[in-house]
Amino acid sequence: QFFICHAAIILSLIFLKCACIGLCLDKCCPEGWTQSGSRFFIFFYNSKTWINTELSCIEIGGNLASIHSSDDSRFILGGHDGVQEGVWQWTDGSPFDFKSWGYGAPNNYTGENCLSVNWGANLWNDYRCYYRLPYMCSIRPVPRTRSGH
C-alpha cells in the first residue's frame, strides 16, 4: 500500500494533467492518461506479472513505459533482458539510452530478467518476471486533425 500511495503522490506532483478540449489542433491526451514530454502515461494499481502487464498495455495501444530521462524514471518499467542475458531493451523498441540502476543491479540474481523501480531509492532493479506488481503503460500521441478527429 505504501508503494501505491507513493506512486500516486509522485504522479500528482511531477506531471500536469493534460487538458483535452474541443479546440485542440495539436496532440491531445486520451482521457485518464497523464502527459510527460511527448508521451502519455497511465498507471494501473492492480498487480500483474510482467508479461501480463505488457499484454494489457498492448491491448490499449501502448507498451510498458520506457525511460529516456530522469524525468521519466518514476514509472514502472518495461525493460527486460529476456532475449539475451545482460542486454537490456524496452518492449516498445525504443533505444535503451538511459540507465538508473541501483547499487549492484542488474545482477540476474536467480534469473531476474525484468525491470522495476525501487521506490525507496528511486533506482532500478532487476526482478523475477513472475512477481506481480502495479504497472505503467505509455503511448505516443496521435496528432488530431483540424476537424477534431
Q: What is the CATH number of the domain that holds 51?
A: 3.10.100.10
User: Where does the pLDDT of residue 146 fall: very low under 50, low under 70, confident under 90, or very high at 90 and above?
Assistant: low
Residue 148: helix, strand or coil by DSSP?
coil
Determine, yes or no, domain membership for 130.
Answer: yes
- CA–CA gap between residue 43 and residue 34 (Å, rounded): 9
Determine, yes or no, domain membership for 133.
Answer: yes
Determine, yes or no, domain membership for 57.
Answer: yes
Chain centre to alpha carbon of residue 71: 12
CA torsion sign for 105, 106, 111, 114 is: positive
Structural domain containing residue 98: 43-139
Determine, yes or no, domain membership for 7.
Answer: no
**Amino acid making up residue 92:** D
Question: pTM for the whole thing?
Answer: 0.72
81-139 pLDDT, tens per residue? 999 999 999 999 999 999 999 999 999 999 999 999 876 778 899 999 999 988 999 99
Task: Please list, in sequence order, all residues whose beta carbon lies within 8 angstroms of the beta carbon of residue 12, skipping any fewer than 6 positions away.
Answer: none
Instruction: Please state the domain count of the chain.
Output: 1
Nearest CA to 118 out of 110, 127, 109 is that of: 127
